Amino acid sequence: MKFNIVKRCEEDLTSIGHMLKSFLPYARKRMGFNKPPTIYFQSDDANAKKLLGKTAHYDPQSHAITVYVTGRHPKDVMRSLSHELVHHGQNCRGEFGNLPDTMPGYAQNDSHLRDMEIEAYREGNLCFRDWEDGVKTNKIKIPDMLKESILNTLGDRNMNTKQWKDMTLNRLLLKKFGYAATLNEEKHAEGGDNVRIKVKEGDTLSKIAKEHEVTVKAIKDLNNLKSDVIKVGQELKIPRPVDEDIKNPGKYIDGERAKAGVDKDGDGVPDGVDSHPKDGSKN
C-alpha cells in the first residue's frame, strides 16, 4: 500500500520521515484499514501559539489526515498521526456514515462519536507505544541505518521533549531576527550526520554501502580512502542518506503525481513526495 505524503510546511521532517517508513506499514497491519490515507504535514504559526490549538484532524470524505507540526517534537507529531489513523480505520469500516460535523463538544454530546474517540485515544497511543518499544527491543526488525536514525529521534541518544521544544523556540527567535541556521547546518555543526561502524569479517565497501543506502564514493570521500581496500576492525564514518521523500516537497505537476523517486524498498511509503497544490482540500 502506497501512502500519499504531502509536505505543507517549512520544518525539516527528516526524522519523522525515518519513522514513517516503518510505522505506517506497522499501523496499517495493526489497524486493518484497506485504503491509503493522504497525510498532510502542515505549518501554522498562529495555531502553534494557541494553548489549545489544533494538533491534527481527519476528513472522512477525502480520506485525508492533517497533522500540524510547528513547534512540536517528532514523537508528539507521530502520536497525533497514530490517533488519526485510527479514525481512518473507522472510516474504512463504515463507522462514520452520515455523522454530524465534529464541532467542539461532539465527543461529549454524541455517544457513538464518543466511543470512536475513546478507541482513537486508546488504540492510537498504544499503537505508537508498542511500535516504539518494538524498535527499541529489536522485536520490530528494520535496517540498521534506519534504526539508528529512529532511535536518535526517539530519544535514546538525543534530546528529550523539553530540550527539543527549547531548541525549536530558539530557532524561531533566531529566524525572526535573521540569524537562523537550517537543521542540516545545525547537524553538521554537531557532527550528527554520520554514523561510525567497525569493519567486520567479510565486509567490503560495496556491501557496506548497500546496507547503509549510500554510495561507495561517498564512504571513500568521507574517510579519505584512496582505494577500496578495508581491514577488519577498521573504523569508518558512514554518511546518512538524504531522505528526499519527506524532506523535499517535489515538483508540482498539474494533473499528475509529482514524484521525487519511487518506492524502491517496497515498504509502502513512496521514495518521492506526492504533492497536489490544486486539489482544493482544506486544512
Domain ranges of the chain: 4-150+243-247, 194-239
* Beta carbons of 131 and 26 less than 8 angstroms apart: yes
Residue 267 Cα distances to 2, 4, 20, 40, 236, angstroms:
8, 13, 10, 19, 28
* CATH node for 194-239: 3.10.350.10
Bigger pLDDT: 276 vs 21? 21
pLDDT at 190: 40
* Rounded (5°) CA angle 122-106-123: 10
Write the Ramachandran bin of 126: left for phi over 0, alpha for psi from -120 to 50, otherwise beta: alpha
* Beta carbons of 90 and 116 less than 8 angstroms apart: yes
The number of residues in the chain equals 283
Q: In this predicted model, what pLDDT tens digit does every residue of 127-157 receive, in sequence order? A: 999 999 998 888 887 776 666 666 666 654 4
Which architecture does CATH list for 4-150+243-247?
3-Layer(aba) Sandwich (3.40)
Q: In this predicted model, what pLDDT tens digit does every residue of 213-270 receive, in sequence order? A: 788 988 998 889 999 999 998 999 888 654 444 344 333 333 333 333 344 444 444 4
pTM for this one? 0.55
Q: 184: buried, middle or exposed (CB in 10 Å: 19+, 13-18, 0-12)?
A: middle
Residue 146 Cα distances to 88, 168, 220, angstroms:
26, 24, 21
Name beta bridge partners: 195: 238
* Beta carbons of 13 and 7 less than 8 angstroms apart: yes
Q: In this predicted model, what pLDDT tens digit does every residue of 176-221 receive, in sequence order? A: 555 544 444 444 434 445 678 889 888 999 888 888 778 898 899 8
